[in-house]
Amino acid sequence: MLLEGKSAVIYGGGSIGGAVARAFAREGAKVFLTGRTLATLDEVAGEIRSERGVVDTAQVDALYETAVEEHADAVAASAGSIDISFNLISQGDVQGTPLRVCLVVATPIAFCSIEGSTTVAKLTYLAITSLDGYTADEDGNFDWAAPDEEVHAFVNDLARPLGTYLYGRRMYETMVYWETAHTLADQLPVEQDFTEIWQAAEKIVYSTTLETVSSARTRIEQDFDPDVIREMKASAQRDINVGGPDLAAQAFKAGLVDEIHLFVAPIVVGGGKQSFPDDISIKLELLNERRFGNGMVHFQYRTRA
Ligand SMILES: NC(=O)c1ccc[n+]([C@@H]2O[C@H](COP(=O)([O-])OP(=O)(O)OC[C@H]3O[C@@H](n4cnc5c(N)ncnc54)[C@H](OP(=O)(O)O)[C@@H]3O)[C@@H](O)[C@H]2O)c1
């Protein structure tokens, strides 16, 4: 990881500061979020914490004083040193400057202006697969992939920071269940949680046959254009997930996928719908693994160029 062992203080937990904090944390930095608004900072810190395995929760602190120098002193005292300071200073803080991004590498402070926004959305692929690599068996059955409560809670935490789902039509037809799941009796707390997470996210369904959708925050696209997804990643404030092996295959082939979350179920099904297409070759870096009581194992990989 690029920033392993580095300490970074980020002033401002809004959209830009939050995106920078998430990016630094993913690269292994010890992140200190600082700023004036407690609620916003807590929200961003919570999101970073929820990305299990990427950020140690102990690596995120929120300090609430206002002066940059005070933050710097406090962080330096706590971390031992500051390697990177990323400060967003809005109009009023710095006379005559509409928006400034101050990137400070150690001290002394040096200012540089950056126009526009800084975003770092990832495209992730999450699949629950058999040990031999299928998301559904030859009969289309995938009841063996149903997560128990422990796995479900883990999946919820992975899904919580996502802003948008890109779905192949078939995967959408499975997942749209969550649009009305809250109306069912006896929902488990993890299911209620996922229902809220899913309903809050934006969805794009890729289909040449669907004419209407039955969920909110959902639109249909008739064509999967990699350039459009690249632009989406460049401007999105939250991460994006691609779901459905057929659609995901196109994202892999276009080199768009940044991370894979693979849940391997303890079963061999012998054939069916492959989780990954045949004709791709991607080097991966293992970021995290976890075993669950039901025998499933989660692997988190980052794709490498
Ligand atoms: N293991 C699990 O936990 C799990 C969970 C849910 C579902 N599943 C299973 O996973 C399988 C999903 O399979 P899949 O790979 O066929 O599904 P998919 O990727 O979700 O959907 C394929 C469909 O997406 C549309 N599509 C794909 N590329 C497109 C493009 N470039 N432009 C426009 N539309 C595009 C097409 O829809 P149109 O035909 O409408 O054009 C295509 O038929 C199913 O068997 C499902 O039962 C497994």
For the stretch 186-207, pLDDT in tens is 999 999 999 999 999 999 999 9
% of residues, the chain, pLDDT over 70: 72
Asked whether 142 lines ligand 1 (CB < 6 A), one says yes
Mean pLDDT of the region 5-14: 70
Mutate which of 128, 169, 173, 298 for ligand 1? The one with the most ligand atoms within 8 Å of its CB, which is 169
Asked whether 274 lines ligand 1 (CB < 6 A), one says no
Residue 83 pLDDT exceeds 90: no
Tens-digit pLDDT profile for residues 97-112: 333 334 443 333 333 3
Asked whether 134 lines ligand 1 (CB < 6 A), one says no
Residue 242 pLDDT exceeds 80: yes
Mean pLDDT of the region 274-287: 95
Residue 262 pLDDT exceeds 90: yes
Asked whether 169 lines ligand 1 (CB < 6 A), one says yes
Residue 90's pLDDT is what?
Answer: 41
- pTM assigned to the model: 0.70
% of residues, the chain, pLDDT over 90: 58
Residue 53's pLDDT is what?
Answer: 39
Which one has a higher pLDDT value, 249 or 21?
249
Residue 286's pLDDT is what?
Answer: 95
Q: How far is the CA of 196 from the centre of ligand 1 (A)?
A: 23
Alpha carbon dihedral 168, 171, 172, 177, in 10-degree steps, equals 180
Asked whether 171 lines ligand 1 (CB < 6 A), one says yes
Q: How far is the CA of 234 from the centre of ligand 1 (A)?
A: 25
Q: How far is the CA of 175 from the centre of ligand 1 (A)?
A: 11
Asked whether 136 lines ligand 1 (CB < 6 A), one says yes
Asked whether 273 lines ligand 1 (CB < 6 A), one says yes
Ligand 1 atom nearest 265 alpha carbon = 1
Asked whether 250 lines ligand 1 (CB < 6 A), one says yes
All structural domains of the chain: 7-105 (3.40.50.720), 123-304 (3.40.430.10)
Residue 233 pLDDT exceeds 70: yes
Residue 87's pLDDT is what?
Answer: 65
Mean pLDDT of the region 143-168: 97
List C-alpha distances in Å: 292 to 148, 160, 185: 9, 20, 27
Work out the pLDDT band at 37, boundaries 50, 70, 90: low
- For atom 4 of ligand 1, which residue has the closest CA? 135
Q: State the chain's mean pLDDT as an integer.
A: 81
